[in-house]
Amino acid sequence: MARTAGSHAETTGPRVRAAAQRLIARHGYAAVSMRQIAAEVGVQAGALYLYTPDKQTLLFDLMRLHMEELLAACEALPEPCDPRAALAQFARFHIGYHIDRPEAVFIAYMELRNLSPENFAVIEGLRRRYEERLEAILRAGTAVGVFALPDLRLATRAIIAMLTGVTHWFRDMGPMGRDEVADQYAEMVLKTASAR
Amino acid sequence: MARTAGSHAETTGPRVRAAAQRLIARHGYAAVSMRQIAAEVGVQAGALYLYTPDKQTLLFDLMRLHMEELLAACEALPEPCDPRAALAQFARFHIGYHIDRPEAVFIAYMELRNLSPENFAVIEGLRRRYEERLEAILRAGTAVGVFALPDLRLATRAIIAMLTGVTHWFRDMGPMGRDEVADQYAEMVLKTASAR
């Protein structure tokens, strides 16, 4: 079958995003040029513009896809009725998902400053939707008295920050495996939320 | 009294570091030139080299001073014998110190990738010394049974990540004041560590 522009775009799009992610995570958005990204992909700079109109759109696509995939994976989880089981599941999910994607996580936090205001609003909206998954679990547990947290939004952000921090140091942990790390975080998060 | 090179350096050094911190936090280390930093300070590019030999040294100085000042402030705290009081104090201290320095915190995490290996080793050493302050509190509490944490190093990093996350969103919290935020974090951290 002849190679069409469409099928070409389908394979080149992911390669462009992968190259942009590597370079931006290494050097920062402002220091990376479209020319460098093209060289990393192995295409001419002009060819890059077949796949993305500009560097801002490329950054936005990276961050949007990261958040959309995270949300889709989270929304596909079963929904345990027991708030403690739901919270432990959320913690294990968040750890496992983020351990595998340190570059995407790094960019998701660090390059917010470089989004246009319209793009920032979209990413913030997706982030809020993800936070609301956790906040709903904390709310349900508080309603039945198994959790006690004076401010659910603050607690949501604190727990997500605790869990996401794993990407800073997981590679140093030596012999401790992913499952053991996830178990320890899940246990700590349950205590953090608990009504004692 | 005549202005000497020494006294000039004393006032220009902090101005150079403040300008570098603003620009690096905004654009990232790799995208900021010594020429831009000089322009921000209001001196000629050549004059900047009276105060720092190169951009790497400037970044290293920013990160080293941030960690040294944090350590000195932490080491100046009283040392309560009760591990729960010590942990609550550490949490409140960390929140208060970091809320005031979002740019320094941002750089401390984000620009590790741009340190030379020798400079990275120094910053990592300072960071470990700070983590050990918290780890010692957790160890003392575990020894007397008020805390229960299977891995103190993992718990130390998780708690520091939770607390440092406050710099990402504190400005959004609207009416919630610093003390209330610090109280809520201290309460969560006590629960995280507790033996139930």
Rounded CA-CA distance A126/A2 in Å is 38
Closest by CA position to B119, among listed B186, B40, B192, B64? B64
For residue B127, CA distances in Å to A106, A165, B88, B110, B131 come to: 19, 15, 20, 14, 6
Could you read off the pLDDT of A34-84 as tens digits, one per residue? 999 999 999 998 889 888 999 999 999 999 999 999 999 999 999 999 999
Closest by Cβ to B162, choosing from A113, A161, A187 = A161
Rounded CA-CA distance B77/B156 in Å is 18
Based on the fold, state whether residues A115 and A33 are members of the same structural domain: no
Please report, for the domain that includes residue B84, its CATH number: 1.10.357.10
ipTM of predicted assembly, 2 dp: 0.90
Please report, for the domain that includes residue A46, its CATH number: 1.10.10.60
Based on the fold, state whether residues B91 and B34 are members of the same structural domain: no
Farthest-apart Cα atoms in chain B, separation: 65
Based on the fold, state whether residues B31 and B71 are members of the same structural domain: no
Judge: A30–B27 Cβ closer than 8 Å, yes or no.
yes
Under the banding of pLDDT at 50, 70 and 90, the label for residue B172 is low
Based on the fold, state whether residues A36 and A105 are members of the same structural domain: no
* Cβ contact B29:B111 at 8 Å: yes
Helix (H, G, I), strand (E, B) or coil at A12: helix
Mean predicted confidence (pLDDT) in A111-120: 95
Q: How many domains does chain B have?
A: 2
Give percent above pLDDT 70 in chain A.
93
Phi, psi (5° rounding) for residue B75? -70, -15
Based on the fold, state whether residues A64 and A145 are members of the same structural domain: yes
- At residue B2, what is the residue type? A
Closest by Cβ to B194, choosing from A157, A159, A191 = A191
Closest by CA position to A189, among listed B95, B131, B186, B158? B158
Residue A31: pLDDT above 70?
yes
Please report, for the domain that includes residue B22, its CATH number: 1.10.10
Residue A44 belongs to domain spanning: 1-52
Report helix, strand and coil shares of chain B as percent, to nearest 5. Answer: 80, 0, 20
Q: Which residue of A has its CA nearest to B181?
A: A154
Q: Which residue of A has its CA nearest to B32?
A: A31
Based on the fold, state whether residues B1 and B86 are members of the same structural domain: no
Could you read off the pLDDT of A93-109 as tens digits, one per residue? 999 999 989 999 999 98
Based on the fold, state whether residues B68 and B41 are members of the same structural domain: no
For the ranges A165-169, A187-191, B100-104, the maximum mean pLDDT occurs at A187-191
Based on the fold, state whether residues A2 and A75 are members of the same structural domain: no
Based on the fold, state whether residues B177 and B97 are members of the same structural domain: yes
- B-chain CB neighbours of A113 within 8 Å are 26
Domain-terminating residue out of A37, A52, A67: A52
- At residue B140, what is the residue type? A
Based on the fold, state whether residues A88 and A163 are members of the same structural domain: yes
Based on the fold, state whether residues B172 and B103 are members of the same structural domain: yes
What single-letter DSSP state applies at residue A147?
B
Q: B10-15 — which CB contacts under 8 Å span 24+ positions?
A: B12/B41, B12/B43, B12/B50, B12/B51, B13/B51, B15/B41
Residues contacting B168, CB < 8 A, separation 6+: A109, A157, A161
Judge: A162–B159 Cβ closer than 8 Å, yes or no.
yes
- A-chain CB neighbours of B157 within 8 Å are 165, 168-169
Which is more confidently placed, B126 or A174? B126
Residue A136: pLDDT above 70?
yes
Give percent above pLDDT 90 in chain B.
79
Based on the fold, state whether residues A71 and A168 are members of the same structural domain: yes
